[in-house]
Structure 1
């Protein structure tokens, strides 16, 4: 029996095995490449379709943008009409982006709306600028927002007179949320005998009204008191101060106010001080009177401390919304005075005026000082008695 070597046969098996292994791997790599090509082609086609769809569904801007002045001292009516092809977009939502500002303002105020008319406030001493565009989105645009071109419009009240003829130092304070006091000074170019009138309007009034309670100086109106303005709180209050004089044109002043930002309360009431321990003082007060909402107030507490022979200096120790505060004395200091004032807090207004300080002052000393103050009258009383006794004795000897 002949034994044939098996080396060639074994080598043939290994070669077949390697070939069988390489074929699936090559096929798998090929499938992955084809899949990538397919996905890339699909994305390219979808992008082209979306781009084509957006181009096909372009929308026109609104029409006939107009600005009219109803005579409300700065509140202007803005109106426009829909684009001509709006009825063809049944499967889309049509909206408008409306922006407005006064010339010189850095930013536009923006409103998104489906309405075709708005009333917004402007400073009539400057040019009013508005612009509107159409926004289209829905199935007709494959849920991609399509924007039209902008349309623009401006409005300017013819301003008479020179700028220097306008009233100066116009200033208003809303006292105790009860009445508004506005004051001004005549313009630099205002002639003698000038007559000023203040007009105001806020949402809820049918027309602009004139002040009926003027403040005068030598027969010239330099201020106005407005009562019953609670309906104007948290609204724009439009004001115009206009002047007239013989043969002279005067520039009117326009202003838009927010009453809550001009509020000034009266000083807090019933300020009381009590000593709980030798190192603590309890300060308690009541909110001011008037119509100021108590929940809209914050308070500042100040005290003056005497440090030995040094002069007392005011220092703020608290700004809070409560009507009580505890003061801890350090370094055996003597508090010569405590005072409190209030203003509208930031939950009710963007800003406001501080009230005047409470007028009460208290001299609060250390316990040793109190004992000294008690002993001094006793010593003086004993000294007086001794002197009287000595005088009586001398009189008897005579």
Structure 2
């Protein structure tokens, strides 16, 4: 069987996805008693493995890293009565696509970093490339499935008048799919290398710190810890929490010790050393059921003080000591008054009528 014909790759301008199309092999209509399908494989240069699709279609849109060369290969698969039910494979045909190189590699922005805060907004920042001229202007463009065309950032973060970051909002439709981004730069008479990247928002999520952390001690001297999930759009079932505890060690600074990683928002901790003060801190991140990775939130921390045994004894002794002291003072005052009065005479002169 012959391979497909006229394999072509075109760029629809969506910052990552490319359109790949081809024509059937010649005389395919003569294979009435066999099914014809295609084995379509693609990758970006440098990837070890090919991604594979079996299809009867003649066109596909697939994502690539546009900073590298896109590679595609295709073959015809024929099987049926015309081949005695044995699959026959054609030779491979190949095609590549590369955006024309622009600017020096060192002019590409560096330290590109994004965080999806509270599943509400995406904040991306970057630094100028090593070969960046003065007067540079950066622009961030993005696209995800559902948009008709690529859009430019509307809310830039500036440093000394230069765009060094971007805040994107209302991205709920882009969750759990590819978000394609390009950061391009321009300067007078100088071409800068654009940066292309593909993000997955759920893997960049960073929730706010847990709220309403409450500590108490049970009758069995166990530390009871409870908190509430953070606000925002973070799905509660997508969160896991890390709990750490530090016990007061007197004059020495106590180290934080790991206690648990869990999805529940309450925990009972045994206070083995019965220390005077217990401090607990809790932070959260997206769990493995909702993301492959994520950023930990900031810590929420609180401390709980339990009176020492000697403190309780002191609380009991203080009223007793005060009572004895007051009684002693009263007796001393009475004694002083008796000493000052003449012998055998009343303390007060009689009142005449």
C-alpha distance after superposition, 1:88-113 (max 9, x if no partner): 22222211111111111111111111
Q: How far apart are residue 191 of structure 1 and its match?
A: 1.4
Q: 1:374 offset after TM fit, Å?
A: 4.1
1:382 to 322, 336, 339: 322
Residue 373 and residue 148 in structure 1: after superposition, are their counterparts in 2 closer, same or farther (change >3 A)?
Answer: farther
State the secondary structure of the residue aligned to 1:295: helix
Look up the match of 1:69: 11
Counterparts of 1:275-294 in structure 2, within 5 Å, are 275-294=217-236
Q: CA separation in 2, counterparts of 1:381 and 1:72?
A: 83
Structure 1 residues 64 and 336: alpha-carbon distance in aligned structure 2, compared to 1, 3 A threshold? same
1:192 aligns with 2:134: yes
Is the contact between residue 276 and residue 307 of structure 2 (CA under 8 Å) also seen in structure 1?
yes
Q: Which has the higher contact order (CA 8 A, sep 6+)?
A: 2
CA contact (8 A) 1:332 1:366 kept: no
Q: CA deviation at 1:201?
A: 0.4
Please state if 1:157 is matched with 2:108.
no
CA distance in 1, matches of 2:314, 2:191: 71
1:172 aligns with 2:128: no
* TM-aligned CA distance change 1:160 to 1:373, over 3 Å: farther
CA distance in 2, matches of 1:111, 1:260: 25
Q: Which residue of the partner structure matches residue 148 of structure 1?
A: 90
Judged with a 3 Å threshold, the aligned counterparts in structure 2 of structure 1 residues 369 and 176 are, in CA distance, closer, same or farther, namely farther
The alignment yields a C-alpha RMSD, in angstroms, of: 2.5
> SS at 1:270's partner residue?
strand
What is the rounded CA distance, in whole Å, between the counterparts of 1:136 and 1:373 in structure 2? 93
Q: CA deviation at 1:139?
A: 2.3
Mean CA deviation greater in 278-287 or 99-108: 278-287
**Helix, strand or coil: the match of 1:313?**
coil
Instruction: Note the 1:94-113 alignment, pairs <5 A.
Output: 94-113=36-55
Secondary structure in 1 aligned to 2:291?
coil
After superposition, the C-alpha distances for 1:128-161 in whole angstroms (9 at most, x for unaligned) are: 1011111122222222222111111000101211
Report Cα offsets for 1:216-236 as digits up to 9, x if no partner: 001000000001000101111
In the alignment, structure 2 segments of 5+ residues that lack a partner are 341-353
- Number of the residue aligned with 1:181: 123
Residues 215 and 304 in structure 2, CA contact (< 8 A), matched pair in contact too? no
Work out the CA distance in 2 between the residues paired with 1:123 and 1:78. 15
Contact 2:216 2:304 in 1 (8 A): no
**CA–CA distance in structure 2, aligned partners of residues 109 and 264 of structure 1:** 30
Matches within 5 A, 1:1-398: 59-307=1-249, 310-358=252-300, 360-365=301-306, 368=309, 371=312, 374=315, 378=318, 382=322
Cα distance in structure 1, aligned partners of 2:314 and 2:304: 12
- Structure number with higher strand proportion: 2
Q: Which residue pairs with 2:350 in the alignment? A: none
Residues 278 and 367, structure 1, Cα contact 8 Å, conserved in 2: no
The two structures have a TM-score, normalised by structure 1, of 0.78
SS in 1 for 2:237: helix
- Give, in whole Å, the separation in 1 of the partners of 2:232 and 2:314: 41
TM-score normalised by the chain length of structure 2: 0.88
Distance change in 2, residues 1:363/1:147 (3 Å):
same
